[in-house]
Amino acid sequence: MNLSAFGKKFTASSGITELMDDLGSAMASADSSICMLGGGNPAHIKEVENIFRSRMDEILRTPLLFEKMVGNYDAASGNAAFIQALAALLSSEFGWPLTAENIALTNGSQNAFFCLFNLFAGECSDNKFKKILFPLAPEYIGYADSGLKPGMFTARRPDIETIGDDLFKYHVDFDALKLTDEIGAVCVSRPTNPTGNVLTDQEMRRLDEITRERGIPFIIDNAYGTPFPNIIFTKARPLWNSNTVVCMSLSKFGLPGCRTGIVIARPRIIRALGNLNGILNLAPGSIGATLALELVGNGDIIKISREIVQPYYKRRMKQALGWLREELQGLPYRVHKPEGALFLWLWFTGLKISSRELYARLKKRKVLVIAGEYFFPGLEEEWSHCHECIRITYSQDEAAVRKGIRIIAEEVKKTLT
C-alpha cells in the first residue's frame, strides 16, 4: 500500500499507541494477574460512579432527553447548555470574564491538542516554520506524535531540586528558555503528566509574562487540575487571560469513555476549533456534556472533586509512596515529589539498562509501566536521565499496585548484580 506522508506518519509506531495497545490488550484478556501500572485510566470511585448512574437514570426518565443526547448533533463547538453553564461556573469561581464564546468542546483532550498544536505550529502564513515549546521536559506522552509535520516540537531540560533522601522536583530553567521567532506557542501541563509536578505560581506568572511579551499563546493542560477533577495536592492558583488557552476534561473526573475535552480561550481560537470540529468530527459527542450538565450548573462538580475525588487520590498516592519506600529501600532511586495527577515518576539514578529494557522485562512479568524515554517530546539533546525513569499509576486495584511495586523492585535489583 503506497501511503502518503500523512499516512506513513500516523501509521508508524508511537509511544501513545503502544500505551493504548498495552492497555487494550490487558483489558481484553481479562487476566487478573496483570498489574496495570501503565495506563492513564482514572480509578473507579464508587461514590462518583453512583452519581453518574443516578444522573443517567434521571436522563432516561426525562421525556426526550435521552433521545436528544444520543440522536441529535450538537453545534460544532459543543453542547450549548453545558458551555453556558461552565462559563458561568468558572466566572463565579475564579472571576474570569468568560462567556459561551470563550469555550469549545472537543472529542477528548487528545483531539484538542492535535488541533491546537497544528493551529499554532508548522508551516505558517508568514512562510516561517513554527514550533511548540515545552519549557519543562518531561511532558505528556500524547503530545509527541500530534504534529502534522516533523520537527514541530522543541523542549528544554529542567533544573532538578533534590528533596530529602528520596524525592526530587523539576523546575523551569528560565536561563535556558529563549523564545525565538520560531516559537508559535508554549505549552505546559499542570499537574504534569507523567511526573505529578505542579509548576509554582511564580513559574506560571513568568511564563505568562514571557508569552504575552512575544504575543504567542500560552497553552495550559489542566486535565488533572482545579476546579475539577482537582487531583492536586498543593496550593496552586489557576491562570487564565486572553493570551492563555486552558484545556480541561471530564476524563479524570470519571468519564474517560465519554471523550469530552474542554478548551477555554479567546473567541477567535474558539471559532477556529469549532471549524475544525465541523471538518474533522461534525460535532463533539453529547453524552459527557449531558451527564455532567446538572453537576456543572449547580456547582456540585467542584464539591465532588474537592470532597471525594481529591481525597481518594491523595490517600492512594500516600499508600503507593509508602510501598515504594519499603520495597526500594537501599536502591539508588528518587521519586518526583507527588503534587497531583495519578502517577508516580521513578528515577533510578545510574540505571544500567534503559527504561525501555526495564519496561520489557516488567511486561514479561505481567507488570505494565511506561518507559521514561517517551516523555521527552522535542528534546533534541541526548540526556541519560531520559533513560533512567519510568511512570507508574496508583489509580488501579490496590493489590495489583502493591504487587507491581514489589516486582519493579525485584527487577531493578537484578540490574545491579
Q: Is the dihedral of CA 332, 16, 248, 27 positive or negative?
A: negative
Which pLDDT tens digit goes with each residue over 309-355?
A: 999 999 999 999 999 999 999 999 999 999 999 999 999 998 999 99
The CATH number corresponding to 5-44+304-411 among 3.90.110.10, 3.90.1150.10, 3.40.50.150, 1.10.760.10 equals 3.90.1150.10
Amino acid identity for residue 295 in this structure: L
- Give the pLDDT confidence score for residue 263 in this predicted structure: 98
Q: Whole-angstrom Cα distance, residue 368 to residue 187?
A: 28
Looking at residue 12, its pLDDT comes to 75
Range of weakest confidence among 4-8, 153-157, 393-397: 4-8
pLDDT, residue 301, reads 98
User: 210 has which bridge partners?
Assistant: none
Q: Given the C-alpha cell 432527553, which residue does it identify?
A: 65
What is the torsional sign of CA 212, 90, 170, 235? positive
User: Phi/psi at 176 (nearest 5 deg)?
Assistant: -95, 0
Distance CA 324, CA 258 (A): 33
Mean pLDDT, residues 183-190 taken together: 97
Calpha distance 194→389 (Å, rounded): 10
Write down the H helix ranges in 215-354: 267-280, 287-297, 300-304, 310-327
Confidence band, pLDDT 50/70/90 cuts, at residue 128: confident
pLDDT over threshold 60, residue 287: yes
Name the 3-class secondary structure at 23: helix
Do 50-299 and 5-44+304-411 fall under one CATH topology?
A: no
Confidence (pTM)? 0.94
* pLDDT score at 416: 81
pLDDT of 27 higher than 60 = no
| Per-position b or e across 238-253, b if 16+ CB within 10 A of its CB | bbbeebbbbbbbbbbb
* Domain chopping of the chain, boundaries: 5-44+304-411, 50-299
Please, what is the average pLDDT of the chain? 94
Q: How far is the first Cα of the chain from the last one, in angstroms, to the nearest whole number?
A: 48
The CATH class of 50-299 is alpha beta
